[in-house]
Amino acid sequence: MITLRKYLKQSATYKFFTQFGIIFADFLDTLGKITQMGLHVAKCVLKGEIEPKELILQCERFGISSLPITLSIVGMTSMIVASQVALEMVKQGGSGLIGLLMTMLIVREVGAIMSGFALTSMIGSSLASELATMRVTEQIDAIDVLSVDSVSYLFVPRVLSGLIMMPVVVVIASIVGVIVGAVTSDIFAGLTYRAYFDSAWLGLYMKDLGVCLLKAATFGATIALISCSCGYFASGGAKGVGLATNKAVVWSFIAIVVLDMVFAILFFF
């Protein structure tokens, strides 16, 4: 019996399910911590515990600092899609729908998702590593000792900055994406700008713009909340900082995809 048990523990199946159990337990633990921090942040906001100067500083960091990489990613994505779609649509007699297709794609999906990925990579990882460093160097403990609510002080400005600035970033990125799509369609398929923009408005409604802004605000707040939570609960020195940053990026990517699916089901089905 002992030999059989020892054999089973050495098997690949046992190791797989053991590792799966560890990952699942960590998933539930992290989800619980993020939810706990989210409720605390909401409570602080309702009480008006907001530091204006810190909020402005974080808004500048979340919005202006992230614009170059965000515009680059959204612009290149639009260029890639337009270069592959425009010429084929013209061949099939669908040149009048190229602007419509590109605009719907960028406004509904590409603008928000690619901006979310860019902000996660640049700002989310920065937030996680910043708070994780503060945790392992006991700076957060010092804040708590001074009878200051560390969650209100560290989380609220960052989460609100994501909520406020992400829609602005997405709007600018979407406009750039649509324009890049028009230029690319002209270069690769000879489609005039007038034909492109005339068709762009055919399938674009106020509902699409409203959902885009709501999605962007949700993405921004979620990225900031997840990144701050992962950094806040870090431990283990320099290695813990790296693990917290990695977890923040992975969780933010997953959250963006899941939330995007929820928005698609709620508003477009």
Give the residue numbers spanning the domain of 138: 64-268
Find the mean pLDDT for residues 230-248: 89
Give the C-alpha distances (Å, rounded to integers) separating 194 from 25, 172, 190: 56, 21, 12
130 in Cβ contact with 140 (< 8 Å)? no
Res 1 pLDDT > 70: no
Burial of 34 (0-12, 13-18, 19+ CB in 10 A): buried
CA nearest neighbour of 223 among 84, 113, 67, 134: 113
Position 88 scores a pLDDT of 81
pTM for the whole structure: 0.89
**Is residue 113 in a domain?**
yes
Per-residue pLDDT tens digits for 90-110: 877 777 788 888 998 899 888
Per-residue pLDDT tens digits for 112-166: 999 999 999 989 999 999 999 999 998 998 988 888 888 899 999 999 999 999 9
Per-residue pLDDT tens digits for 198-214: 888 877 788 888 999 99
Separation CA 112–CA 209 (nearest Å): 11
Find the mean pLDDT for residues 230-250: 90
Separation CA 96–CA 26 (nearest Å): 51
**Is residue 149 in a domain?**
yes
**Is residue 52 in a domain?**
no
**Is residue 4 in a domain?**
no
**Is residue 254 in a domain?**
yes
C-alpha 75 chain-centroid distance? 17
Q: How many domains does the chain have?
A: 1
Per-residue pLDDT tens digits for 45-72: 998 888 889 999 999 888 888 888 899 9
For every residue of 189-257, DSSP letters joined together read H---HHHHHHHHTTT--HHHHHHHHHHHHHHHHHHHHHHHHHHHT--SHHHHHHHHHHHHHHHHHHHHH
**Is residue 41 in a domain?**
no
**Is residue 3 in a domain?**
no
**Is residue 11 in a domain?**
no
